[in-house]
Amino acid sequence: MRKAVIPVLFVFSFLANAQEKKTADTTKATDIQEVVVTSLGIKRQARSLTYSSQQIGGDELTEVKTPNLLNSINGKVSNVQINRTNGVGSSVRVIMRGNKSVSNSQPLYVIDGIPIINGSGKSADISQYSNMPDPGDVLSSINPDDIESINFLKGASASALYGSAGGNGAILITTRKGKIGRSSISYSTSLTVERAYSLPKLQHIYLSYDPSVSGQAPGNNIESWGAKGGSKDYLKDFLQTGTTWVNSLSFQSGNEKSTNYFSIGNTTNKGVIPMSYFDQYNISFRNSSKFLDDKLTLDANFIGSLQDSKNRQTPGASFSPLVSLYWLPRGVDFDQYGPDNYFYLNKSRLLPAQNWWEVKPDGAFKGNPETQNPYWILNRNPVTVKNKNAYSAVTLSYEINPWLTARVRGNYSWNSSDSQRDISAYSAPSLLAGGENGRILKNVYENSSTYGDVLLIGSPKLSESISLDFTIGGSVNSTSNKVTQVDNAYLANPNLFALNNLQWNVDRSPGDGYHNIYWNLKKQVRSVFASASVGYKNMFYIDMTFRNDWDSTLALTGRSGFDYESIGANAILSSVFKLPEVFNFWKVRASYASVGLGLPANISNAMVAYYNAYSYGVDAGTIVYPKSSFVTDRAELIPRPELNKTFEAGTELRMLKNRLNFDITYYNSNATNQLLETTIGSNFGGIPSGSYYINAGKIRNTGFESSVSYKVFDTEKFGWTTTLNASANKNEIVELFPSSLPISEKQLFSLTGGGDFTKLRLGGSFGDLYGIKFQRDDQGRVLVDANGVPLGTTGDPQYLGNPNPKFILGFNNSFNIGKLGISFLIDGKFGGKVLSLTEKANDLYGVSQTTANARDAGGVSIPNAVYAPGTPLAGQAYTGTTDAKAYYKRTGGAGGMGTGIDEAYMYNATTVRLRQASISYTFDINAKYMRNATVSLVGTNLFFFYKKAPFDPEQVSGNTPGGVGVDSFGLPITRSIGLSLKANF
């Protein structure tokens, strides 16, 4: 299919302005007349932009459908890194031009020019003991068939008019509307099947016991370091073939006065894990009508969805049915614990009790550590996620005169995420947290936002040579986040998982198994803004923007508002100079922008003792006070807005009769005044010891992004378009804590959601992983003990690597041979290091293929190793082989930081994959009621050309700043293949 990719310009200024597409004044301008959607939903000619943007057409999003539309973008847009979490309906993590903030580096999402909040529930953490899955987000609920186009504004210059929310760039989503003069119905359906692949490599030739030794038997020990013997691979039989069925039906009609678009959709998924499913229902409606001699235009739309899922995979080992099979002691017959025999009736309580190799006859667990029957987890520890999303917007536009338009707009978005896990009696004791009747975990997140603005948009004709586009406006944006978290292990009646069955009169302080947390966060930002774009003879353009925000999060800090500006310029060299005929268009551009960012909601209450009780909320009737406060008597430490300053420059070329398009951009951004939380250990300059919020930190991102598109052939009988997107980003922590504080440069700062492993350190990069390394001498040789077992570092965690790719490449090709269409996308992410906690634990228990190979080889050879000081052969080279069990008991681990040697489980994160492919054929039917139909064979995540890590480095545990680069028993990679049909009536 023909691409709508428009790598367009970039530089600076942003601006929302410019009205609808203007008539070209010169014939040279007709070489690049594409119209792109910019900030505030205003359309501009691509040639006039002074910054970089890249646009994807809606057809390209649905060419190979994915339930979350942003997953369809991977590899198609330069310098956009997309990480998926867990399965269908889960959220995605989108980063453009690198991580910029410790609080949030994700872009602003905009629907039809109006910002929305991409709300979600509680994100999962990187932890073996994580108990809830990723709940999904608003974007995962939008029907891709309702999207006309998506435009990526990657820099602060492009999104400056959106204010602080657009500091990380903006993703502009334009929804479909009815077309004038035509009524039509479209129906599309796709059915795909999914299979898990690239599973952890497990061994089945060494048992957990030695049959020749009296008293040893299967199930006495979780570790499989016993004698050789046969053991069945139960994992492959446990995983099933998943299916995803997506249906969408749309109606559209229109005349000169009014257009309408209405659609309904449904997604049904059966996961690769038994008893896991996902259901989603979508509805969308948009009307655009003209009144008063077409001077007044009313545009209104509504988007809604309902999601219901069960047994979505949770990171960590505690509630993973797969981990129970990974660690199943070899020799244990899993068939006797299958779906029809995972429980028995406990006669003393007349309750179902767990049937599992680790459960003793009296119902007590052996504690090895505790694992559970996979079918018990799915049936008796189920987790459900119910999401509701609603978005409505109205725009009223009045044409005052041919060059001046007034516009009033507003939207309301609301979403609710309700996750609940039920833990039945006779589950593992550590999961019951002291309860005997069961335990309930429940997270309810309700997010809402109300946005309104008033715009005055003009494009007066100043002269034949000088053009002016301007925007003046103001906006009010209010958001509210209500959070309820319930954790109660004191059910009045066993296994009745209802809130009114919970007992709160227990004499204990809040802790695991006893929580009832509630808080309500609110914020409001009031803004005024203006932008202007001045053009000279369609050859030179200058953009300027100004915005001032009054942010409620700055209350009590001594200031309430902050302003920021941008400026950008471009030159159309193909209009300035007479170039060879091979050049159809050539533009250069540059821009500079500064964008502010307020504090997290309610956090400034911690500045005043009277208010700090209201900063967080209550827990089971106990006020939850913030653990940190602000330094209020030192001017340089008083909280202030975060600031992102960005410079970018680039050029765009179109050659060979516009068949060859090239765009490249260089950028440099510096985000300062990061809000960090740290501990000051001793009285310094009158500051008492304690935990404080400190405004400091400077994160720098530099890099380039480029896109090349070439129409190799462009005829009706045969067409071939190839597109190459390439980008590189370098991230550096230039400053962490203020130099005026006695904080060591080696101090580590933990990122949200990163567990024990993801840290920031001065001179490092965002997302750096830290852990235990091999002990080495001054020459870098590994130190081993007297038995040849390697030693691990002690004390502070050591730097292991950074998971973010150094270079990203996307290679997209589309062919049309008459009515036959073929397309495929290859993308690669190069560089980076990732950590696998799964492999680390599998090695510890002797269930990995690596441990079997080591036993077959007679042990583990450790290159470049010497005996450690204090051993009889200290300093001498170690050339022997280390007992496999002793080696992996030292390097492996099933806990967090402090167990095993993490360095042994770092892997190259480079991957090159066939992301998606499709073969389609269009039938021109031209019957009375049907115009045409397209049938396609589609596939996603088909295979890897290159992958060294034992998991997909692209998958993350949670949608958090620190959730990248650590595999914490996540869902295996799935390959999907299927058929799709689209019929137009």
Amino acid at site 166: G
Helix (H) or strand (E) holding 158: helix 156-159
The 3-state DSSP class for residue 293 equals coil
Backbone angles phi, psi at 317, to 5 degrees: -100, -20
- pLDDT for the residue 576: 92
Residue pair 916/938 in contact by the 8 Å Cβ criterion: yes
Q: Residue 922 gets which letter from DSSP?
A: E
Kind plus residue range of the DSSP H or E element containing 841: helix 837-844
The rounded distance, in Å, linking the Cα atoms of 74 and 63 is 13
Chain center to CA of 318? 23
Query: How far is it, in rounded angstroms, from Cα 804 to Cα 167?
Result: 20
The answer to whether the bond into 950 is cis (omega within 30° of 0) is no
Sequential DSSP letters for 338-358: STTSSEEEETTTTEEEE--TT
Q: Other C-beta atoms within 10 Å of 761: how many?
A: 16
Name the strand (E) or helix (H) holding 837: helix 837-844
- Measured CA to CA, the distance from residue 545 to residue 564 in angstroms comes to 8
pLDDT for residue 412: 94
Q: Residue for token digits 């050879």? A: 861
Contact 715, 734 (CB under 8 A): no
Say which residue the tokens 């040893």 belong to: 216
Handedness of CA 334, 335, 336, 337 (dihedral sign): positive
Three-state secondary-structure class, residue 152: strand
Comparing C-alpha atoms, which of 48, 86, 80 is closest to residue 67?
A: 86
pLDDT < 50 positions in the chain: 1-32
CA distance 72 to 976: 14
122 to 90, 130, 753, 970: CA distances (angstroms) = 12, 11, 11, 17
Chain centre distance of CA 7: 23
Say if residues 16 and 56 touch (Cβ distance below 8 Å): no
The pLDDT of residue 248 is 95
**Closest Cα to residue 600, out of 547, 552, 548?**
552
Phi and psi, residue 179, nearest 5°? -105, 145
Contact 723, 709 (CB under 8 A): yes
CB atoms under 10 Å from CB of 227, counted, come to 14
Question: Which amino acid is located at 1 in the chain?
Answer: M
Looking at the chain, the number of H-run helices and the number of E-run strands are 10, 48
For residue 238 the two structure tokens come to 């446990």
Q: Can you give the pLDDT at residue 31?
A: 37
Place of tokens 């997953």: 71
Of 41, 16, 21, residue with least CA distance to 112 = 41
Q: What is residue 682's predicted lDDT score, i.e. its pLDDT?
A: 65
